[in-house]
């Protein structure tokens, strides 16, 4: 939720003007976040170094939307952050973490992906492969057949597009193909089959 404060839009949860720095979003109408520079530094020295001191230079704008910044800050400030809701927002928050080398926050977000896995199981499988997270990859695999979702999923070696094959690591891609080992039409038609695939999956090394 955003509210007006001194003619600017601020995210209510981060509207304490006693903080020493302000982050501005890239939204068409920017949303501002009052933050502690030392807290930002604990997660990302790179982001901390880009922040202006409020009293001297005003806000520092970064190329991310307000919802993604909120997701990032919630993980930083809140010991029990609210559940993640939208993969689009989470994906941008992870990009923020990558851009500013905030590895700890990125790890916290990845460990909390369960509520959004069903929104993009293939993308999350690919993400899991990059970080060699077998548990997350299996959770994503289990949900690949839900609601008929098969977009982008390589169901057999001869059906893989280069664009799809380039997304996960080779070990995870080959491991998934090995775990499938059944007719492509059966995989699409039967959600229960993906539970079996998830159980059988392991990276092929």
More confident residue, 98 or 192: 98
Note the pLDDT of residue 191. Answer: 56
Question: What is d(CA 180, CA 194) in angstroms, rounded to the nearest whole number?
Answer: 8
To 10 degrees, the CA torsion angle through 126, 132, 133, 139?
Answer: 40
The values of phi and psi at residue 60, to 5°, are -105, 120
| Highest CATH level, class, for 8-112 | alpha beta
Say yes or no to pLDDT of 6 above 60: no
Q: What is the mean pLDDT of the chain?
A: 85
Note the pLDDT of residue 193. Answer: 76
Question: What is d(CA 169, CA 188) in angstroms, rounded to the nearest whole number?
Answer: 23
Give me Rg for the CA atoms of the chain.
20
Domain boundaries, the chain: 8-112, 117-200
Note the pLDDT of residue 184. Answer: 53
Note the pLDDT of residue 152. Answer: 53
> What pTM was computed for the model?
0.82
């Amino acid at each position: 939720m955003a509210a007006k404060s001194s003619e600017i839009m601020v995210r209510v949860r981060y509207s304490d003007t006693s903080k020493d720095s302000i982050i501005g979003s890239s939204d068409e109408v920017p949303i501002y976040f009052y933050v502690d520079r030392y807290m930002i530094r604990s997660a990302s020295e790179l982001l901390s170094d880009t922040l202006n001191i409020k009293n001297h230079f005003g806000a520092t704008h970064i190329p991310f939307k307000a919802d993604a910044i909120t997701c990032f800050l919630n993980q930083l400030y809140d010991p029990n952050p609210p559940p993640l809701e939208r993969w689009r927002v989470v994906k941008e928050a992870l990009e923020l973490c990558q851009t500013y080398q905030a590895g700890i926050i990125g790890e916290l977000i990845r460990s909390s992906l369960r509520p959004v896995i069903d929104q993009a199981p293939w993308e999350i499988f690919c993400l899991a492969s990059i970080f060699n997270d077998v548990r997350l990859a299996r959770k994503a695999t289990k949900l690949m057949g839900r609601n008929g979702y098969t977009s982008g999923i390589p169901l057999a070696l001869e059906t893989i597009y280069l664009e799809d094959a380039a997304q996960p690591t080779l070990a995870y891609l080959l491991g998934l193909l090995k775990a499938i080992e059944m007719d492509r039409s059966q995989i699409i038609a039967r959600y229960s089959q993906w539970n079996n695939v998830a159980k059988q999956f392991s990276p092929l090394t």
